[in-house]
A and B are shown apart, each in its own frame.
Chain A
Amino acid sequence: MPPKSKAAPKPKGADSSKQPTLTPSTSNTTPAVPATVAARSQLRYDDSRPHDAARLKAGLTGLPRDEQAAWISARFARTPAARTRLPPKAQRELWRQVNEASLPVRALRGGTKGSSWGRDRNGLDVGGYSVERFDEREARRARLTCLEVASRGFRERRERERKGLRDPATGEAVFVSEGEVDAERVRRGEMADLRRELYGTVQGSFALDPEWDDVIPIPQDEPEAALAAIAYPADYDEAISYLRAVMLKKEYSQRCLRLTETIIEMNPAHYTVWLYRASNVFALKLPIADELEWLNQVAFANLKNYQIWHHRHLLVDNLYPALAEKPDELARFAAAERDFLTQILVQDTKNYHVWSYRSYLVGKLGVWGSPEELKSIEGLIDDDVRNNSAWSHRFFLVFSDPAHTTPGLVATEPDPAVPQDITSREVEYAKEKISLAPQNQSPWNYLKGVLVKGRQKLSSVEEFTGGFVKGLGNKDGSEDVQSTHALDLLAEIYAEKGDKEKADLCLRRLGEKWDRIRVGYWEWRRKCLEEA
């Protein structure tokens, strides 16, 4: 213990806010106010070691005598181990000199080589901050710490409430109110902002939501060096991790429903999330009408997605038993679905999933004979006579209608149950549409299909078909074929009537000129004709 001196040594750093004390002949040329906190620390360091800088520059022997003595004394003053070697008289002399020169008794440790200030969110050294900016930063950090403490308090209360424990301070049962949860939500928002400002960390919205505290997300677990390893954007990854967790424990709740909606928004093609959503809807017994309303919007936004239609399928399957008992409601539902399908087909007239759902719906609700359904399809064909999906659906409507067809027959089989007037009606319809655009596959396929179903001979439409082919085989340029499909059917008609020569002419001209790309097929037909 050094003997008490008359003048107490200056506490280190006490004058940091004022001008730094410059001991005599220090070789520091520090400015009056440090530009950065790093410079300020350097200043404080140098202050506590008044002659260090000079000594480093000149060496001990290079210093003037009084500075030498001062440096040595200062070193003794701050190094108790060294002092113990001095005899008491020398120690008294030492302290006399220390007090006279007001040398610091303690010195700051560490150098300023390399920064220990850390880096901010932009990667810049915090040591390069001005004092003012640094103080601002420190204030934010202090605020973040306070918030963290409060947040921890909230989580503890939540835990206590969950476990049924009592508040240690008041001895009462713990109840976490909505207000507290809201406050926590706000708090976490502020914490996330601060963390982002200070450290650049970005936090997922689920981690911020107190509603999800009890769920531990399950991150993607892939084998080492997975063959097809990928890095996910953080939001999506987080949401999927939460999905895994709740699916594992088979939770069905409003928050899970919202979770599925979030994921569907980010990736509507994700197969499993749709199935899980359906589970939630059914488990919570939510009104199917509401879910359909939501689904309609998603369908418009994602026309190429097929999960949407399977989801709809599941919903209708679930809804049907209730509808089946009330014919009025069933009719209303059918009409509402038809409206929606019409709207969505405007966007994508041939969407296979939509049409596939439509035929399921017709079968499920039993509306084959519905004039509205037929009219709706006719409308689509009016819009685009080449819409093969619409033609296909019409065939299904007419020739699978249990009211006038034999159940269990395949589409290609003739059906004695089909009334003559229906067959005629369909033939006329096909002819009408063919006339609008003769080079159009769909109505020709339809026509043939109807004739087979209705057990009519192909030659019953010979005159009509022949109208699209003029001057066949003429070499003077008067040969005119308005429709290759007509020419094809004509060949079949002639074959049916036994006129091989005419049939062969049709086929030959198709392969030679009118449909050259399919010459392989036409030649095969000619060969079959020959062999028949």
Chain B
Amino acid sequence: MSEKSKTLPKELQLVASAHVKYIQSLDTRKDEYEYWLTEHLRLNGLYWGLTALHLLGHPEALPRTETIDFVLSCQHENGGFGAAPGHDAHMLSTVSAVQILAMIDAFDDLEARGKGKAQVGKYIANLQNRQTGTFAGDEWGEEDTRFLYGAFNALSLLGLLDLVDVDKAVDHVVACANFDGGYGVSPGAESHAGQIFTCVAALTIAGRKNLVDADRLGKWLSERQIAGGGLNGRPEKKEDVCYSWWVLSSLEMIGKTHWIDRDQLIAFILRCQDPENGGISDRPGDMVDVWHTLFGLTGLSLLEYPGLEPVDEVYCLPKSTTERILGK
């Protein structure tokens, strides 16, 4: 694959060490307004940053013990995790917590010092609506296929997928399939690359990937690539680096990654970097953030850009993690 990078202009390379420094600096940005406004995403932010570091080959760049301490401090009695200490438990932060602990191989700490895997599994399982198969984000009941995917992701990592009604959930995902081949947030809602990822990944984890119309979906996904090489999330929308993950991982799962132009996408992602200070933004020239940094890197990893660890297209974790835990 090194021939691919030779076709790129010399100045367009991955500035890996700048990205590492950028991620490390995130927890010191106390003076940045945006940082405290996103307190309710803090645990998620930690997952994004840590995964990026693992893919860059620097898993040690965030201190392991402090990470475990912080994650466990977000856990509630019911086993669920909040986004930050003192925040109510929610599905999304719980999934991030499980993913982080999986990456740094800290499930033992969860047993010894936290509330244990079983309790986490119970929290997640309780969020399933047994009539419809859908999952809520918390006791307030907002439903979204993201939560369904999150539940499958975390439970399978914990080895507790049998706690939920997988078949009912699969039925719900199938009901979200649209006429254009994509999937929406709920039945009848517009096809959206983010939702497509959650639906296809959920079906994959459930072993029901055969239910996806791979040809039609692949076609829809391949149409996400626009002239500049970047990917958008829906027809006639702007390109955004994060779709390098949602679209690409979906293509990878159905085996159609070669249906987009890899070189052009690589070039687009690299143009979205901040070469001096590190980090990646949604499109060239915009402000960077950790979310787009992660998904830019996962995109490059899926495209086998040199120097990056392989990423698991279903779990959005390093392949080394999922291989260790799931024996894939």
Show the binding face of A for B, using Cβ within 8 Å: 220-223, 225-233, 236, 244, 267, 269-272, 275, 278, 310, 313-314, 350, 352, 355-356, 359-360, 363, 386-389, 392-393, 395-396, 399-400, 410-412, 440-442, 445-446, 448-450, 452-453, 517-521, 524
Contacts and interface: CB of A to CB of B under 8 A. Distances in A.
A359 B90 contact: no
Given A230-B29, A521-B222, 6 more contacts: A220-B86, A221-B86, A393-B190, A411-B179, A450-B179, A519-B261
Contacts of B220: 445
B70 A412 contact: no
Contacts of B304: none
Contacts of A223: 69-70, 73, 85
Given A226-B85, A229-B30, A449-B180, A271 B186 contact: no
B189 A355 contact: yes
Contacts of B58: none
A278 B139 CA distance: 13
Q: Which of A236, A387, A388 has the most CB of B within 10 A?
A: A388
B260 A518 contact: yes
B39 A230 contact: yes
B236 A272 contact: no
Interface of B: 26-27, 29-31, 33, 35-40, 42, 45-46, 62-63, 66-67, 69-70, 73, 83-88, 90, 138, 140, 142, 174-175, 177-181, 184-192, 213, 216, 218-220, 222-223, 225, 227, 229, 234-237, 256, 258-261, 264
Contacts of B191: 392
Contact of A392 (B38, B46, B190, B223): B190
Contacts of A524: 256, 258-259
Contacts of B256: 521, 524
A411 B30 contact: no
A388 B27 contact: no
B234 A227 contact: no
A518 B259 contact: yes
Q: Which of A236, A272, A411, A449 has the most CB of B within 10 A?
A: A411
B175 A410 contact: yes
Contact of A411 (B33, B178, B192): B178
B73 A272 contact: no
Given A227-B27, A228-B45, A229-B27, A363 B188 contact: yes
A313 B142 contact: yes
Contacts of B138: 275
The secondary-structure label for the interface of chain B is loop
Contacts of A352: 185, 190, 192
A110 to B, nearest CB: 42
B153 to A, nearest CB: 20
Contacts of B27: 227-229
A412 B31 CA distance: 51
A296 B31 CA distance: 32
Pairs A-B, 8 closest by C-beta atoms: A449-B179, A392-B190, A396-B188, A521-B259, A227-B70, A445-B180, A441-B235, A520-B258
B261 A517 contact: yes
Nearest to A442: B235
Contacts of A227: 27, 46, 62-63, 66-67, 69-70
A393 B187 CA distance: 11
A225 B66 contact: yes
B186 A359 contact: yes
Contacts of B218: 521
B275 to A, nearest CB: 26
A117 B45 CA distance: 48
Nearest to A519: B261
A400 B236 contact: no
A413 B313 CA distance: 29
A231 B261 contact: no
A389 B188 contact: no
B189 A222 contact: no
A230 B70 contact: no
A223 B261 CA distance: 47
Given A229-B27, A231-B31, A270-B40, A388 B70 contact: no
28 contacts: A225-B66, A226-B73, A227-B27, A227-B63, A227-B69, A228-B42, A229-B27, A230-B36, A230-B39, A356-B189, A359-B188, A392-B184, A395-B179, A400-B187, A410-B174, A410-B177, A412-B181, A442-B236, A446-B180, A448-B179, A449-B180, A452-B179, A517-B227, A517-B260, A519-B261, A520-B258, A520-B261, A521-B256
Contact of A275 (B140, B185, B237): B140
Given A352-B190, A412-B178, A232 B36 contact: yes
Given A356-B189, A396-B188, A231 B30 contact: yes
Contacts of B42: 228
Given A310-B142, A359-B188, A388-B190, A520 B40 contact: no
Contacts of B73: 222-223, 226
B235 A521 contact: no
A234 to B, nearest CB: 11
B69 A230 contact: no
A389 B30 contact: no
Contact of A360 (B87, B186, B222): B186
Contacts of A441: 223, 235-236
A228 B179 contact: no
B198 to A, nearest CB: 14
A226 B27 CA distance: 9
Q: Which of B84, B190, B192, B234 has the most CB of A within 10 A?
A: B190
A424 to B, nearest CB: 17
Contacts of B37: 267, 269
Nearest to A247: B88
Given A272-B40, A392-B178, A412 B213 contact: yes
A315 B181 CA distance: 33
A227 B142 CA distance: 30
Contacts of B187: 400, 411
Contact of B234 (A388, A452, A518): A388
